[in-house]
Structure 1
Amino acid sequence: MNIRIGDKNKIKNSSIGHQYRSSNESNESEGTKKFHEKHPILFSLFISIVAGVILLFSFWETFIIWIESLLK
């Protein structure tokens, strides 16, 4: 970086300010976000449906009976 003091000041080969982002820019671009970050409501709805299907299995009936016997 060359700086001349006096008349006809010139700055050459300088990169001041190029390495910093402005405060208005986000750290992540929109293209790098994953599906659950872009659509949290759809993702939570999907997880709720999956949990509901898992709870429909007959295995849970014996598990519930076992828990009820512990609480009596």
Structure 2
Amino acid sequence: MYDASGVRLHAGRQAELLNQIVCELPPEHPVSNCRPLRDSLGHTPLQVAAGAILGCIVAFLMRSSS
């Protein structure tokens, strides 16, 4: 959960900013021909919380059905 909401989310935000910088470079610049970085890496805190709650519910239902 820490990785999904912290490290990966911030890496995605940095990738988004780097993509904007590369788009502003002149076409003759060697970096302007590179493919864009993936910027959808992490999850928002709300998505992480929803996943944790869903995981707890599924675990409870699996425990109850046995």
What's the TM-score bracket when you normalise by the shorter of the two chains? Answer: 0.3 to 0.5
TM-score when scaled to structure 2?
A: 0.36
**Larger relative contact order (C-alpha < 8 A, sep ≥ 6)?**
2
* Greater fraction strand: 1
Structure number with bigger Rg? 1
* Greater fraction helix: 2
